[in-house]
Structure 1
Amino acid sequence: MNVTGIIAEYNPFHNGHLYQIKKIKAQDESLIIAVMSGSFTQRGEAAIFDKWQRAETAVKSGCDIVLELPFAFACRSAQDFARGGVTLLNRLGIVNQLAFGAECADLSILQNIALQLDDKAFQEKLHAHIASGLSYAQAISAALDLDTEITALIKQPNNILAIEYLRSLRLLSSDIRPLLIPRQGAGYHEEKINGNLASATAIRHALYRRENLSDLKAVMPPASQELTSQNLTSQLPKMNRLYLPLQAKLLTSNLPRLQNIYGINEGLENRILDCAKTADNWQELIQAVTTKRYPASRIARTLLYLLMNIDKDSIALFDQTGPLYARLLAVSPQGKTILREIKAQSSLPLITKTSQYLTTTKRREVQTDLTPLEQMLRLDTLATELRQLTCEKKSPRNDFQQSPIFIR
C-alpha cells in the first residue's frame, strides 16, 4: 500500500490543493495523510477557519487523514515548519512519499540547492549574511553565489519550502521519497482571482473584503464553497482583536521577561515597546517594527510568542525532540482502515482525545513540571483559544471536548 504525505495549511482549501491530490491519485492508488497547521499559520496569522473545519474540508476533497502540525513548528520559519512536518510524517512509519508543490519543475535543481545548504562553509556564509540584515532567501542566494535565474527561483515561497522539505528528508536519512508536483495557476501572493485556480491569499482577501464572492465558486471545491458560505465576515478572525491583550502584556512585562521570549534578540524588545506607543492596531505595529532585518512574518510570529509567553528554552527543547504526537483532526473511511497500522508502526502516540494527555487543570501547572509532550500540546490548546479571541463569535469547539471528525 502506498501512503503519501502532504504538509499544508489549507488556508483555505482551494482548487490548487485539489489539483495536487488528483495528481497524486492519478499516479497510483495512494492514501493521503496531510499534516496541517492548526490555529495559526506560518506567517503568524489566525487561520481563516478553525482546524476542524479545514480538516473536514480536506478529507471531503480527497485527503484520507488530517493530522495537526504542532504550533511549536507550524508558526515558525520555513525551515522549522518543514522540519516539523517531515519529522512527523517520518515518525508515522507508514509514509512512502512526500508530495509538495513548487514553482520550479526540476527536482534535481531543488535537490542540489538543498544539498549545499548544510555545507559547513555555506552555513558560515549564510549566518554572516543574515547578521548583515538580509532575509533568509536573500542570504541563501548570496551565500551560494547563484546566477540570476536561480536567485529568482530561491525567492519563490513554494520553492523555499520544497528545498527545506528535501533538506529535512536528507538530514533524517528518511526512506520517504519526494514527489514534486509543479505549482499551477496563480502565484502564492497573487491577490486577483482569474480562471479556476487562485491563491489562498486572493481567496482570503475576497472573503474579508466581501468582493468577488461569486468568483470563489470557480476556484474552490464544493466542500470549501459550503464552508465559506456558512461563515460571514463577522465570524472571520481578525488579528487586531489581539492588540489590546498585547498592549496589556507589554505594559506588565519587565525587560528580562521580554528578552527571554523566543524571537526577541538584539534589542528588538525596545523597538516593539517604542512602536507600540504610537501604533493603533496589531497590523500597524507589525508594519512599524518591520525592517529589512526583521520581516513582517517574523514580527507577527514574535508577537504571538509574546502573548503566549513562549520562551527560548521551550523552543530549544521542541527543536531537540521534534513533534511528540500525531493529533488526529479528521479521517475518511479509507483513512480509518490504516489508523490501526499507524498505531502499530508509529513511534508517536496517536491522539484522538486530548484529555488523555493533558487536562485544563494540568495545563495551568508550572511549565517545567510538565513533560515535553504536555508542554507541546499545551501550546496547541492555547493557540486554539487565542484564535477564538480573534473572532466575534466564540466557537463551541475546543481541544478538550472536540473529537476527530470521521467522514462517512
Structure 2
Amino acid sequence: MEITGIIAEYNPFHNGHLYQINQIRQHRDSLIVAVISGSFTQRGEAAILDKWQRAQCAVESGCDLVLELPFAFACRSAQDFAQGGAALLARLGIVSQLAFGAESDNLAQLQAIASQLDDKDFQKQLHQQIANGLSYAQAISAVLGNDENTATLIRQPNNILAIEYLRSLNRLPTSIKPLLIPRQGAGYHEPDIHGPLASATAIRQALYQETVADLASVLPAATYQATRQLSASQLPDMNRLYLPLQTKLLTSSFSSLQNIYGINEGLENRILDMAQKASDWQKLIKAVTTKRYPASRIARTLLYLLLDIDKGSMALFDQAGPLYARLLAASSQGKKLLKDIKQQSSIPLITKTSQYLNTNKRRGAKADLTPFEQMLSLDTIATELRNLTCQTAADRNDFQQSPVFSNR
C-alpha cells in the first residue's frame, strides 16, 4: 500500500484539506501521514487551535498519522518549512510519495523552476539581488522575472511552497515521489467565504468575528465541532505577548539582540525604536515591516526574541534536520504504522515527551542540552507560550498530554 506524506499547518483543518485527502485516495489506495506545525505557524502566529486539537480534527477527517514538525522548522521561511517537513517524512523510512497543493497544475514546470533555483549561476544572482536590498521572495522574482508566466506563477503562495517541496526532494537522499494536487476553491488569502472551499484566512476571521455558524458549510464535522466549542477567551491573541516582548527588549544588550536569529543589518535598532511607539504586537510588526523585511519575517523574529533563539542554535538545527518524530494523533489504521516506523525510521518516534526531556532538564544551561533536547525543548516552550496568548488556556502541555487515538 502507498504511504503518502503531507506537510501542512491545518490552521484549522478545512474542506480544502479534506479535498486533498480525497484526491490522494482517488489516485491510489493509500495511508496518509501528515506532518503539521505545532503551536505557532510559518507566519509567526499562534495556531487557532492547539496542536492536539488540530491533529485530532485531521485524523477524524481522514489522516492516519499526524506528527509534529518541530518549531525550529515550522516557524520559518517557506524553504526551511519545506526542507524540515520533507526531511522528517524521509527519515520515517515508510513514506513513498509527498502530496502537496499548488495553484498551478503543471508539475513539470514547477520541477524545472525548482531545479533552476539550485543552479550555481542562479544562486549567485539571487544572493546579489538580496545584497541589493530585496527579500528572498523578491530576489527570486527578480532573477526569474524575464518570463511573465513564470513571474506570475511564483507570486502565488502555494506554488512557492510546491517549488520548495520539490527542491527539498531533490536535495534529500530519498525515493519519495511528488504528487501534485491542484488547489481548488478560494485563494490562499481570500478574506471572504463564497462556497464550501474557503481559505483558512477567511475561516480564522469568522472565528474572531464570532460568526461560527457561517462555517458549517466550509469545515468537516470534527473541525466544526471543535470550533463551536471555542469561546472568545480561548482564541489566541498575539498582543498578549507584547508586554513580555517589551520587557525582553528593555533588558537585552545590543550584542544579545544582534545574536538572535533573523536579526541583521541593524534590524535590532529598528525594532527597539518602533517598540517605543507601537501600542501592541501587531502594530509593532506593521511599523517594522519594510520592502526588504516582510511582516511574516518580522513576526517570526519577534518570537525568536522571546524564545532566545540565537543564530548558532538555528544553524545547528539546520545542519541536523529533524531529530525525532513526535506523534500527535493516529487512526486505528495509523496505529498499525507505528511498528513499521519504529523498525525503519532513522529517528526516534516520541509518544511520551518525559522519556526524553523533563522540566528540570529543560531549565538547565543550553550548553548542557544535546541538539535533540534543545530542539524538543523549543517545542515544549512554544506550547506554553501559545497558552499565554489565550485568556483562558487549555490545560494541556507536552509533558502530560498523550497522543490522541481515534477509532476511525
Smaller-chain TM-score bracket: over 0.9
Partner of 1:273: 272
| Alignment partners' CA distance in 1, 2:112 and 2:26 | 27
Partner of 2:220: 221
Deviations 1:349-378, CA, capped at 9 Å, x for gaps: 000000000000000110011011000000
| Alignment partners' CA distance in 2, 1:363 and 1:233 | 32
Once the 2 structures are TM-superposed, how far is the Cα of residue 142 of structure 1 from its aligned partner?
Answer: 1.4
| Alignment partners' CA distance in 2, 1:135 and 1:262 | 16
Deviations 1:85-118, CA, capped at 9 Å, x for gaps: 0000000000000000000000001000000111
Partner of 2:136: 136
| Alignment partners' CA distance in 2, 1:146 and 1:371 | 47
Partner of 2:248: 249
What SS class does the counterpart of residue 226 from structure 1 fall into?
helix
Once the 2 structures are TM-superposed, how far is the Cα of residue 136 of structure 1 from its aligned partner?
Answer: 2.2
Once the 2 structures are TM-superposed, how far is the Cα of residue 214 of structure 1 from its aligned partner?
Answer: 2.4
Partner of 1:319: 318
| Alignment partners' CA distance in 2, 1:145 and 1:378 | 41
Partner of 1:77: 77
Q: Aligned letter for 1:47?
A: A
What SS class does the counterpart of residue 278 from structure 1 fall into?
coil
CA contact (8 A) 2:206 2:214 kept: no
What SS class does the counterpart of residue 216 from structure 2 fall into?
helix
TM superposition score normalised by structure 2: 0.99
Once the 2 structures are TM-superposed, how far is the Cα of residue 150 of structure 1 from its aligned partner?
Answer: 1.2
Once the 2 structures are TM-superposed, how far is the Cα of residue 127 of structure 1 from its aligned partner?
Answer: 1.3
1:300 aligns with 2:293: no
Partner of 2:58: 58
| Alignment partners' CA distance in 2, 1:99 and 1:283 | 33
Once the 2 structures are TM-superposed, how far is the Cα of residue 146 of structure 1 from its aligned partner?
Answer: 3.5
Partner of 2:103: 103
| Alignment partners' CA distance in 2, 1:35 and 1:267 | 35
Once the 2 structures are TM-superposed, how far is the Cα of residue 131 of structure 1 from its aligned partner?
Answer: 2.3
Moved more, 133-142 or 84-93: 133-142
Q: Which runs of 5+ in 1 are unaligned?
A: none
CA contact (8 A) 1:138 1:155 kept: no
Trace 1:7-406 onto structure 2 (pairs within 5 A).
7-211=7-211, 213-406=212-405
| Alignment partners' CA distance in 2, 1:171 and 1:353 | 31
CA contact (8 A) 2:91 2:347 kept: yes
- Tell me how large the CA RMSD over aligned residues is: 0.8
Once the 2 structures are TM-superposed, how far is the Cα of residue 138 of structure 1 from its aligned partner?
Answer: 2.1
| Alignment partners' CA distance in 1, 2:188 and 2:66 | 23
Once the 2 structures are TM-superposed, how far is the Cα of residue 129 of structure 1 from its aligned partner?
Answer: 1.2
TM superposition score normalised by structure 1: 0.99
Once the 2 structures are TM-superposed, how far is the Cα of residue 209 of structure 1 from its aligned partner?
Answer: 1.6
| Alignment partners' CA distance in 1, 2:174 and 2:404 | 30
Q: Which runs of 5+ in 2 are unaligned?
A: none
Moved more, 146-155 or 5-14: 146-155
| Alignment partners' CA distance in 1, 2:388 and 2:224 | 25
Q: Aligned letter for 2:307?
A: M
CA contact (8 A) 2:144 2:150 kept: no
What SS class does the counterpart of residue 292 from structure 1 fall into?
coil
